[in-house]
Amino acid sequence: MPLGVKKLCYDARLPTRGSDGAVGYDLYSSEDATVPCQAGRALVGTGIALSIPDGLYGRVAPRSGLAVKHCINVGAGVIDPDYTGEVKVVLFNHGTEDFEIKKGDRIAQLILERCDTPMIKEIGLLDETLRGDGGFGSTGQ
């Protein structure tokens, strides 16, 4: 089943893969934007909407080059399969300089992942495990 992509503006770019082995599809900005420095953020449009196949959801992930070179990361990266609005990307700038985005720049990548949505059943007891309720670093350094 193909990933359906609808352009919401005539010059929006369809997602692309950088190589045959790439898992992520590059997402492109449909607008100029500035991501302010020192934990600043911006919501950047892509100009596209998706029709995600059954059993999958979209995860918006950072591009490694933007992370390493410019300290740019993404947030709020789940695209539900029943969402039909414009895909927008929340970008965070952890660097010391404002980051300028130009229309057509690659800003993130879309990764399609399988997901299950089992029914919720309230239970009284949990099975015992070796780990138990240990969390937040309890399994070692």
pTM of the predicted model, to two decimals? Answer: 0.90
Q: What is the pLDDT of residues 38-50, one digit of tens each?
A: 989 999 999 999 9
So what's the pLDDT on residue 141?
Answer: 62
Please give the Cα distance from 134 to 137 (Å, whole number): 8
End-to-end CA gap in the chain: 43
Give the contacts of 46 (CB within 8 A, at least 6 positions apart): 12, 27, 28, 29, 30, 86, 87, 88, 89, 107
26-30, 122-126, 129-133: which is most confident:
26-30
Q: Where along the chain do its domains lie?
A: 4-114
pLDDT score, position 136: 82
Which residues is 92 bridged to in the sheet? Answer: 41, 73
Q: Within its chain, how far is the Cα of 36 from the centroid? A: 20
pLDDT at res. 131: 82
Lookup result for tokens 């080059």 = 65
CATH code for the part of the protein at 4-114: 2.70.40.10
Residue 137 confidence (pLDDT) above 80? no
Q: What is the pLDDT of residues 5-36, one digit of tens each?
A: 999 999 999 999 999 999 999 999 999 999 99
Question: What confidence category does residue 130 fall into, taking pLDDT thresholds of 50, 70 and 90?
Answer: confident
Q: What is the pLDDT of residues 89-105, one digit of tens each?
A: 999 999 999 999 999 99
Q: For the residues 114-135, what does the mean pLDDT come to?
A: 90
